[in-house]
Amino acid sequence: MRARAVNLAFSNGQADNLPVKVEGEADDRWVPEVDVSYFFTKNLAAELVLTYPQSIDIKVAGTKQGTIKALPPSLLLHYHFTDLGAFTPYVGAGVNYTFFTSRSNILNGQASVDNGSAGLAAQVGFDYALTESWSLNVDVKCIQMSTDVSVNGVGKIGKVNLDPTLYGIGVGYRF
């Protein structure tokens, strides 16, 4: 189990070249993150990464037109390189499913985003053992996250790419 302070660095982009420019704009920020890992072997583990919903401004043609919330749990499979003493680097890959809430308040309720977004997630990091149970953890994760923006009666007007990179530092406790 780990607790981290994570810096979210959002890419804030538009995926489609549609007539109307639609962008998600999320400010970079530090947030708490918790993960639970289960080791199948000394090298192979699954990790569930959890945090709380993040606010993201939606801009249409450069003007803020609403705010949505994104909750992005991720599930990753890790390979840990052992036999390096206290230093244990790892790499991971998996999936992210982002739940979008407060999603119908764009353009005064005339537009909304999808309920969710599925994407890939990748991670590289290391644990440094401080004691038999406690460790220092540093990691970097890249997550694919996007959503379609639709206007009532018109349909899709754009796709917002958020694709955050997460830089984390924290502590771990091994049971």
* Rounded CA separation 6/85 (Å): 26
Query: 4-37, pLDDT tens digit by residue?
Result: 999 999 887 655 555 566 666 777 899 999 999 9
Q: Which pLDDT score, from 0 to 100, does residue 13 have?
A: 65
pTM for this model (two decimals) = 0.87
Question: Quick one: 108 exposed, middle or buried, by C-beta within 10 A (0-12, 13-18, 19+)?
Answer: exposed
The residues facing 139 across adjacent strands are: 125, 168
Q: Which pLDDT score, from 0 to 100, does residue 86 have?
A: 97
Take residue 2 and report the two structure tokens written for it: 């780990």
The domains located in the chain, with CATH, are 2-173 (2.40.160.20)
Mean pLDDT of the chain: 90
Separation of CA 48 from chain center: 12
pLDDT(122) > 90: yes
What mean pLDDT comes out for the span 138-152? 91
